[in-house]
Amino acid sequence: MTRITFPVTGMSCAACAGAVQRRLAATDGVSEAAVNLATNKATVEWSGGAPDLKALTAAVRAAGYDVGRDVLSIAIPGLRFVPSTERLERAIAAVPGVEAVTANPAAESLRVTYVPGFTSVESLEQAVAECGLETGPIAAADPLARDEALSRAEQRDLTWKFAVSALATLVTMLGSMPLMGGGAGHSVRSHDLLARLLEPADAALRGAMPWLYAMRPATLKLVLLAASVPVVFWAARRIYVAAWRGIRHRAAD
């Protein structure tokens, strides 16, 4: 019996964690699975043979989420004197859990992208040794620091998406005012309460941006469409991708 704990990214609610847990539990070879939303980690008990890491990754992605990754820099003394690093890169790439590897002979180092919990420092050292090289001291990654780094990266991504979406929303709200009022020479007139509440804003915008009200409605609509595309297809992409995967597997979050 082998226990594996690895990070899962993209979860935001208990239903998300439940969807991942069900997919992992249904994977062949998994006898038990548990997903912790608070730590964004999944733990599986693998029975018999070597764990199928590709199957576990596929299960997480099938639920609409992804496994977390980390980057490790490994010092390789004497790497600059190696005629070709191709063999070394292939050996490291073959280590279970490694997703990308880049050798830098000038700096005598390797940059390895891997899934924490799938790959160990010992397995990387062994792969380097099999190529006739030695590694410098490899400090095992601090799990707490790694989790904080993953959280910061996700927060930066969401912050950028929020900022762009907020700006696009402001543009579309202001740009919609002439269309609501019927264009130049018209003002917002309606029995709709919201439209009446917007009359002062419509008048102020008409005075501040008369050129906006002079635009042809068809042109203005195209501008609003262009401003909305980043929100729908970039900022909200993760929502649609997760929903589509959930529909394919008859699950919802």
Question: What global pTM score does this model have?
Answer: 0.60
Ranges of H-type helices in the chain: 14-25, 53-62, 86-93, 121-130, 143-181, 193-197, 199-208, 210-214, 217-230, 237-248
pLDDT per position as a tens digit, 154-172: 788 889 999 999 999 888 8
* Averaged confidence pLDDT in the chain: 82
Residue 219 scores a pLDDT above 60: yes
User: 15-25: string of b/e by CB count within 10 Å (b at 16+)?
Assistant: ebbbbbbebbb
CA dist 23 and 63 (Å) reads 6
User: 150-176: string of b/e by CB count within 10 Å (b at 16+)?
Assistant: beeeeeeeeeebeeebeebeeebeebe
CA dist 198 and 177 (Å) reads 9
pLDDT per position as a tens digit, 59-85: 888 887 888 888 888 888 888 888 888
Residue 185 scores a pLDDT above 50: no
CA dist 188 and 119 (Å) reads 62
Give the model's confidence band at 134: pLDDT under 50 very low, under 70 low, under 90 confident, else very high.
confident
CA dist 112 and 165 (Å) reads 34
Share of the chain above pLDDT 70, in %: 86
Name the β-bridge partners of 33: 44
Task: Report the pLDDT value the prediction gives residue 144, as an integer from 0 to 100.
Answer: 63
Helix axes 143-181, 217-230, angle to 10 degrees: 170
Q: In what order do the strands lie in the sheet with 66-67?
A: 30-36, 41-46, 2-9, 66-67
Give the model's confidence band at 188: pLDDT under 50 very low, under 70 low, under 90 confident, else very high.
very low
